[in-house]
Amino acid sequence: MRDGGKTREHEPASAGRLNGTETSGAEQGAFTLHKFQQPIGKESYVLEATPGGIAARFDFSFTDRGAAVPLRAEFRGAADLTPLQLSIEGKNCRQSEIHCSVEVGPTGIRVRDRERWNELPRPARFFTTAGYAPVGLQMLLVRYWIDHGSPALLPTFPTGSVRIVHRGIDAFPGRSGAERLERYSIDGLIWGRETLWLDRERRLAALVTMDAEFDHFEAVREGYEPLLETFIRVAGADGMQSMRELGSRFSARADQDLVILHGTLIDGTGGPKVPDSTVVIRGDRLLALGPGTNVVRPPGAFTLDATGCSILPGLWDMHAHVQQVEWGPIYLAAGVTTVRDCANELDFLVTVRDAIAEGRGLGPRILAAGVVDGSGPNAVGTARVDSREDAESWVERYFRAGFQQIKVYSSMTRVAVRWVAEAAHRRGMSVTGHVPEGLTAFDAIEAGQDQVNHVWGLAGMLIDPLPAGATPMDRARAFTEVDLHSERAREALEFLRTHGTVVDPTLALAELSTLSTAKPPESFEPGSEKVPEELAGRLRSVPPPSAETELRERLFRKGLEIVRALHEAGIAVVAGTDQAVPGHSLHREIELYAEAGFTPMEAIQAATIVPARVMGLEPDSGTLAVGKRADLIVVEGDPSARIRDIRNVRKVVAAGKVYETAELWRSVGFRP
């Protein structure tokens, strides 16, 4: 077999297909496309021989939450699969379009992005592709890579380069006994790694990847559908193995005590700061902390000098989606030591969560909210609740998998929310989620929902009833005009307070929706200039100012006002990002709370002690105290005085293991 460029045990058969050396006949295939394991569309492809090589056509289309995402691509190549021409037109997710083409000449390559052309030198080996779709084009990419010496780095056009690694051979049960599929990883088409499998004919059997909006996405060739969950588990385990290899290089100490010296201790309780402090960690626990003159240093300890820095509790992201293994080092690099995953694929998340908890992976502690939805055209995932029996079944499944919460999604009915809440509460689980379509937060909370994701989920309880036939635009405008001093607003805030409702506003995500050429991302989010190229394109592709961007700005500003009102009313606000700009957006979320009227310490507590309390883990986490879990960050400066210093995380300690954050950022393609 081949592993990165070594010799294979066998060469795949080629009869009846086009593989770069055989061009007789034709090849056809089809894949079922999935999002969160739910079938949402199809891709079909045809490869045909031409006088000078091959031609391929790809038709890719799915529907995601009611939005059509169609894409078509045409590829033309020489007999050895060297690209000659490529065009891709359509959408690659609900929010973004792709319009590009590549024309290959003897010495140069012309690339088009929408109407803009550019010419680049032609390298000796290269391929033409753009992103994760169409998936059949990835199949041709790997065939080309195999037939052209398996280079360590392969340039791609219109942009970028990829690293492909042969990860092994997996045996899967088939109709005629075990079937052996070759597993590969690809880095560079999306941010992070993809996993795919080829059969003996080098036909793509399955691809586990992410789409252009960070959501789990899978493509499975017809006939392999029963293996979908297995593909996902194997991809997760393989990714965690790669993260474990990284983690073994980044951890700055082995099994010895850790002492942090001379930093200013900010324990997260709101009490006085302790300058020139000493913190002692043994295993995954805080052994001692306080003024340096009062704390005994154990002999033989590994020491860190934190002069000029503050020592704070590790941060929490309460609206995470750990949908690829690269999120692990990203969260740690940002100082995040605990996340609440707010909807994911069960098999993937359990694999990743357990690997981290058992020291076989790299990332923060993961708490989990298992998503459920009702049936309907806009439903998400495969967990449907249309009866009390459905609620009991899905809640029990998540409970047995060790999840702490259930997340309700947007197609749930009021009675379904009640069924889920009753089943969850009996098992000691709480219920978070969207406010479903057609309901207000009054309805959802009265049905048993404990927490609300996104500040705009409160819109229905704050705006006056709209006439029948009101459009989403009508509701958006009404939301921007909410009077937070009105009787209705006061009643709503009191209702949330008396019910103990918790809100994760995701303001940083809302702010990203306000981007325009007049308000580029770097004007408020410096982290946007540190992301890998695979993410930078989306942040650079912003529209000119318009009535729509002005409305989004007003919506965002109203969200800030509402968060201020929630805080002043004593309603628990917890910091969460819903991904946004990976890692950096949690810092922005905390900054926005300070802009909304929180003191710097209160803003930090929204990402430390408050989420720990909300999740029932305050005795073990959220502040720094003897006996608590050793989760902390070493920050240059003092964020309790200057909130923007929260971005200056230099070291992170997660369950007693210390990491240099600059190395973590670099490990997944970010600049520190």
Which DSSP string do the residues of 455-522 spell out, in sequence order?
Answer: GGGGHHHHSPPPPTT--HHHHHHHHHT--TTSHHHHHHHHHHHHTT-EEE--HHHHHHTT-BTTB-GG
Predicted pLDDT at 3 = 38
The helix, strand and coil proportions of the chain, stated in percent and rounded to the nearest 5, come to 30, 30, 40
- Domain identity same for 91 and 224: yes
Predicted pLDDT at 20 = 44
Is 105 within 8 Å of 91 (Cβ atoms)?
no
pTM of the predicted model, to two decimals?
A: 0.89
Q: Which domain holds residue 517?
A: 311-667
The low-confidence residues of the chain, meaning pLDDT below 50, are 1-17, 20-23
Sign of the CA dihedral running 601, 603, 605, 610: positive
- Domain identity same for 244 and 333: no
- Domain identity same for 337 and 438: yes
In angstroms, the CA 561 to CA 482 distance is 10
- Domain identity same for 121 and 198: yes
- Domain identity same for 361 and 212: no
Instruction: Answer whether residue 48 is part of any domain.
Output: yes
- Domain identity same for 456 and 382: yes
Instruction: Answer whether residue 234 is part of any domain.
Output: yes
Name the domain boundary from 220, 248, 276. Answer: 248
Predicted pLDDT at 4 = 38
AA letter at 358: E
Compute CA distances 479 → 455, 465, 513, 619, whole Å.
Answer: 11, 11, 16, 39
Predicted pLDDT at 242 = 78
- Over residues 382-415, the pLDDT tens digits come to 999 999 999 999 999 999 999 999 999 999 999 9
Q: Residues 6 or more apart from 652 whose CB is under 8 A from it?
A: 314, 332, 333, 335, 337, 632, 633, 634, 658, 659, 661, 664
Predicted pLDDT at 96 = 83
Name the domain boundary from 198, 221, 248. Answer: 248
Instruction: Answer whether residue 463 is part of any domain.
Output: yes
Instruction: Answer whether residue 563 is part of any domain.
Output: yes
Sign of the CA dihedral running 133, 134, 135, 140: negative
Domain count, the chain: 2
Q: Residues 6 or more apart from 523 whose CB is under 8 A from it?
A: none
- Domain identity same for 552 and 632: yes
Nearest to 660 by CA among 626, 644, 636: 636
- Domain identity same for 407 and 524: yes
In angstroms, the CA 657 to CA 378 distance is 42
Nearest to 122 by CA among 82, 162, 89, 152: 82
Is 600 within 8 Å of 519 (Cβ atoms)?
no
Instruction: Answer whether residue 257 is part of any domain.
Output: no
Predicted pLDDT at 252 = 52
What's 497's domain CATH number?
A: 3.20.20.140
Is the bond preceding 134 in cis, omega lying within 30 degrees of 0? yes
In angstroms, the CA 602 to CA 270 distance is 8
Instruction: Answer whether residue 284 is part of any domain.
Output: no
- Domain identity same for 222 and 326: no
**SS3 label, residue 209:** strand
- Domain identity same for 222 and 130: yes
- Domain identity same for 474 and 622: yes
Predicted pLDDT at 534 = 82
- Domain identity same for 32 and 159: yes
Instruction: Answer whether residue 630 is part of any domain.
Output: yes
Name the domain boundary from 225, 248, 271. Answer: 248
Instruction: Answer whether residue 301 is part of any domain.
Output: no
